[in-house]
Amino acid sequence: MLDNLKILIHQGRQYIPDVTTAQVPGIFRGRPVISTEKINEAELAEICPTNAISTNPICIDLGKCTFCGECAFAFPNKIKFTTDHKMATNDRNSLIIKEGLDQAIELNPELIRKEINKYFSGSLKLRQVSAGGDNSCELELNACGNVNFDMGRFGIEFVASPRHADGIVITGPITENMAEPLQICYDAIPEPKIIILAGTDAISGGIFEGSLALNRSFLSKYKIDLYVPGNPLHPLTFINGVLELIKKRK
């Protein structure tokens, strides 16, 4: 018992006191900023492994971006990845970063269904489904609940059964072999329910886009309530995105 207490004391305080203002350590590649410098646009777009960069004007689609940072290495004055980890949004178009604009990514209050704030602002239980996820977003979603990030303090938790859940968090590009289990799981969640796409693979298919082993038809049937970019997503991106979704009102 005494040993256990000693270990506890030696651990000190590990939790992040305020996740909404927390900074990430080091050289995190978060929301990019694109300058108006003139460069060879075709050459820049050619670098990207997932065609996330479009030209005239230059835009980066964070729903497709794998955050590899190679474009910023090749054109350091054109593209900079900032450490701003707040990249979650409910508007797919807000994920497209445009040349010359340095704006925070936010949720569009007009697109938040009103029942979300009413039912889920104090408690949100989520069911996670990995549908071809490579276990990196899954590791980071698990980390959201650890002693550092402690998402549970906001009443946001992952639960074991879809029957207990208020929504579904999908990771991975959605494989053909997971298409049916995903649908069954979603159907088992009681109304009202939300859908969160976690990570680049889920949002656009990422590097797997165009693979014949995928079946993304599920996504065309429903409204997506939150997009959380990243490869994998950072726990702070996820927690802050979900908090904004359930707290923000029209």
Interacting residues with other proteins (CB under 8 A): 3-4, 6-8, 10-11, 14, 24-29, 47, 49-50, 66-70, 73, 81, 128-143, 146-148, 158, 160-161, 172-173, 175-178, 180-181, 185, 201, 206-208, 210-214, 231-232, 234
* Spatial contact of 237 and 228, defined as CB atoms under 8 Å apart: yes
Q: Smallest gap, in angstroms, from Cβ of residue 93 to other proteins?
A: 25
Q: φ and ψ at 89, to 5 degrees?
A: -155, 165
| 61 backbone dihedrals φ, ψ, rounded to 5° | -90, 110
Nearer to other proteins, 109 or 181 (CB): 181
Closest contact distance (angstroms) between CB of 186 and other proteins is 11
CB 49, min distance to other proteins, A: 4
What sign for the dihedral angle of Cα 197, 203, 208, 212? positive
- Mapped to the 3 state alphabet, what secondary structure does 128-165 carry? EEECCCCCHHHHHHHHCCCCCCCHHHHCEEECCCHHHC
Q: Please, what is the minimum distance in Å from the beta carbon of residue 166 to other proteins?
A: 16
- Would you say 138 or 225 has its CB closer to other proteins? 138
In the complex with other proteins, which residue's Cβ is closer, 201 or 225? 201
Taking the C-alpha atoms of residue 98 and residue 130, their distance in angstroms, rounded to an integer, is 31
